[in-house]
Structure 1
Amino acid sequence: MIKFFRHIRKSLLLENKTSRYFKYAIGEIVLVVIGILIALQINNWNNHRIERLNENLILKELHKEFISNKKQFDTVVFYHKKAFGSTIYIKERLPLNLKQINLDSLAYHLFYMGWTYTFNPSKGVTNALMNSSTFNVISNDELRQLLISWDDVVTDYQEEEILARNNYHNQLKPFEKTHFYWSEDYKKWLNDARLDLSILESLAFDNYVLDRYNDLSSLVENPERELELISYTLDKIIELSQPKSHD
């Protein structure tokens, strides 16, 4: 093709057709420029297609990770609420009267009141993404911002859980082991001849229940707490990371 154009130019010069030569040369330049632009456009389109394919693969893994995290979070919140429900059951009956309280029901709720769980989401895909240039492949600005803030959201929520867990294990659990038959079978908690059940009518027992109530309340009852924020963030990331098909 190049030899063909060269032959035309040479013929025009030999025939002394200068004006036609210049017109032809300009036309040839225009064709070359158009060819370059087309090649660049094809290259850009191909690069864009590759980026979208890579983005789709990343979104797929991210979506799976946050689906799993959502399931774990829902499970943790379920157990928080179950523990809180048992705490409310006991709190509403304070101060206890041993002649009126059902000890089997009380033992059941004492057992579940002590459930402690923490949300520990998987961060493998998220951390790998945040610590590499691949993060720039994600085209959705809202998703990018949610991923950037995710670690802080989790940390803020975990602080509440850790405070509640540590208070239970350091303060409340020793109280249980001192005054109850501490067992995985709740039916044994208040069923031992060595127990002095008068502790159930004491101020110390009331404070033990109220202390646990306050901790769990901060996790599940206050609408302005991190519970709502982390739930929203999980749901939104799952929504926005749903892989899309690309032509």
Structure 2
Amino acid sequence: MKENKIKKYLLYAIGEIILVVIGILIAVSINNWKNAKNKKVVEQNLYGDLIQELQNDLSDVEGNRQYNSKYLARYAKASNIILHDSLRQLTDTLGIIATELIFFSDFKNEESAYSKLATSGQLELISNKEILMRLQNMGMLYSYINRLEKNQEQYMYSVVPKISEYIQMKPFQVMKPAELYDYKFHNDIEIMIMIGKEKDGLYTQAETDLRNLIKLLKTELN
């Protein structure tokens, strides 16, 4: 104070404070950059895992759609026999197809990728909101398909006793052909056809949605 150097010391102190603040800001920026980079790496790894999981789902859906289509054609043939085989020359064929009512596609995915991400708390790692929306929609579609699968399974159980009553399995012989050609059994077949057709539409939609979602994820990776 005697030498009137207060101003000089104040300027020096302010300069030191500014340097410290700048250093802190630089350190924070570097840390944020590292965190952002690490988050991006985690996100990219997550996308890779999702692509693999969704490709497995796609393969599963495709297989079930083909299986469903195979037996849809068989059920349609049985329906046609009942309607047009007035002489009952195709009784054995109808009986064989009747035993095939126990076969149906069964895509079971009760925990979608979206559900898994929500349960594990990883949804926040996905920055692309469109991906989140599509994953959520896939989860809802899976739930719809699963409900339809269960409905067909339950209805199938109501048909099995009739098949056991009308047909001797070994050696194969139709024991009650009149019941096979009756409108009640025809209704059973038509209901299975209705369910199968609805499932075919859902499988087709799932295939399209999965392919588009996988394509979007691959774009994010690139």
**Cα offsets for 1:112-155 (capped at 9, x unmatched):** 45422321127386544212333211111122233344443322
Q: What letter matches 2:221 in structure 1?
A: K
Query: Are residues 14 and 182 of structure 1, via their aligned partners in 2, closer, same or farther at CA, if it must alter by over 3 Å?
Result: farther
SS at match of 2:221: coil
Q: Per the alignment, do residues 14 and 33 of structure 1 end up closer, same or farther by CA in structure 2, a change over 3 Å counting?
A: farther
- Match of residue 210 from structure 2: 234
Q: TM-score, normalised by structure 2?
A: 0.79
- Establish whether residue 70 from structure 1 lines up as the match of residue 52 from structure 2: no
String of CA shifts for 1:15-71, please: whole Å, max 9, x gaps. 755444444433333322222111111000101111112222322222222221221
Cα distance change on mapping 1:101 and 1:211 into 2, 3 Å:
farther
Contact 2:65 2:204 in 1 (8 A): no
- Partners of 2:54 and 2:221 in 1: CA distance: 16
Matched, 1:165 2:153: yes
Instruction: Tell me the distance in 2 between the aligned counterparts of 1:201 and 1:228.
Output: 33
For 1:155 and 1:209, how far apart are their aligned partners in 2?
Answer: 25
Secondary structure of the residue aligned to 2:82 is coil
Q: What is the aligned partner in structure 1 of residue 184 from structure 2?
A: 204
Distance 1:113 1:140, change over 3 A: same
Query: Equivalents in 2 of 1:151, 1:58: separation in Å?
Result: 17
Query: Which AA in structure 2 matches 1:244?
Result: L
C-alpha deviation, 1:212, in angstroms: 2.2
1:152 corresponds in structure 2 to: 140
Displacement after TM superposition at 1:182 (Å): 3.5
Deviations 1:65-121 (A, max 9, x none): 222122112111211111111112222343242647445654554454542232112
How far apart, in 1, do the equivalents of 2:61 and 2:2 lie? 84
Q: Is contact 1:86-1:113 (8 Å) kept?
A: no
* Residue number among 15, 29, 32 corresponding to 1:44 in the alignment: 32
Segments of 5+ residues of structure 2 without an aligned counterpart are none
Partners of 2:9 and 2:192 lie apart in 1 by 94
Instruction: After superposing the two structures, state which structure 1 stretch, 55-64 or 13-22, moved more.
Output: 13-22
> Mapping of 1:46-195 within 5 angstroms?
46-97=34-85, 99=87, 101-102=89-90, 105-106=93-94, 109-121=97-109, 123=111, 126-170=114-158, 172-182=159-169, 191-192=172-173, 195=175
**Structure (1/2) with the larger helix percentage:** 2
Gaps of 5+ in 1: 1-12
The CA RMSD over aligned residues, in Å, is 3.2
In 1: Cα distance, 2:175 partner to 2:205 partner? 44
CA contact (8 A) 2:112 2:139 kept: no
How many residues are aligned here? Answer: 221
CA distance in 1, matches of 2:137, 2:180: 45
1:130 and 1:22 map into 2 onto residues whose CA distance is 55
Equivalent-residue separation in structure 1 for 2:56 and 2:70 (angstroms): 21
- In the alignment, is the contact (CA less than 8 A) between 1:83 and 1:115 conserved in 2? yes
